[in-house]
Structure 1
């Protein structure tokens, strides 16, 4: 049985997440379990998720789910805007709710960190080369 779509294709927040995610080398989009997912050989960001509280699924439709490194995961867990999504949370994934106050530069950084956790080495090298070509040597030096 096919999952129903759990997102609005015209959602402007989805369009912003999509633009960020698809800007990374080798990135593509597919719908999985009713939600947009962005991947290379592995998924690096989902749009929307849910959590189970007292036996009921609570939707977080305007959020994104990433797989950060352990240090970033610990920092994000302390924030109210973040949640551990059902099924994915135990594997190190975390959801971040989007609001009117969302810092889109931070969203890009978080998605990039997740990309770096999941993408093949050759695509990360391509991203680093692109950063250097764009005149961003500090971004490359931090890695």
Structure 2
């Protein structure tokens, strides 16, 4: 069964998420369950989703869903902006609605924070060789 497309390709926030996500080594994009997701061997970021327990129609179309760094997860869970996404929450995923977190339309999104969340999710999900490549590119490598 095919899922309906639940995003607008011209969405400025999606374009920014693409820019951030596709800059990671080995990253690609595909549409799954009607929404863009960014992956290497595993998905590290979804664009759009719904909260755990939401009913049909309660969507967050300008949200990112991500796997937080385990060290940051407790603090993120205490921040009211973050929520457990439907279906993904048992695996430790969180969501944040960009519209609610500062306003996509008003230019209030903290894109540095969004990039940090996506970076952490990439590091949790990507193969170690790609994380080493990222570290080498960003100068974070050990040595």
Per the alignment, residue 117 of structure 1 pairs with: 124
Per the alignment, residue 56 of structure 1 pairs with: 55
- Secondary structure of the residue that 1:70 maps to in structure 2? coil
Supply the RMSD in Å over aligned alpha carbons: 1.4
Matched, 1:130 2:137: yes
Change (3 A) 1:89 1:3: same
Structure with more helix by fraction = 1
Structure with more strand by fraction = 1
Change (3 A) 1:2 1:69: same
Q: Distance in 1 between matches of 2:40 and 2:31?
A: 14
The one-character-per-residue Cα deviations of 1:28-58 (angstroms, maximum 9, x if unpaired) are 00000000000000000000111254x6132
Q: Distance in 1 between matches of 2:93 and 2:61?
A: 16
**Runs of 5+ consecutive residues of structure 1 not aligned to the other structure:** 133-138
Task: Tell me if structure 1 keeps the 8 A contact 2:132–2:141.
Answer: no
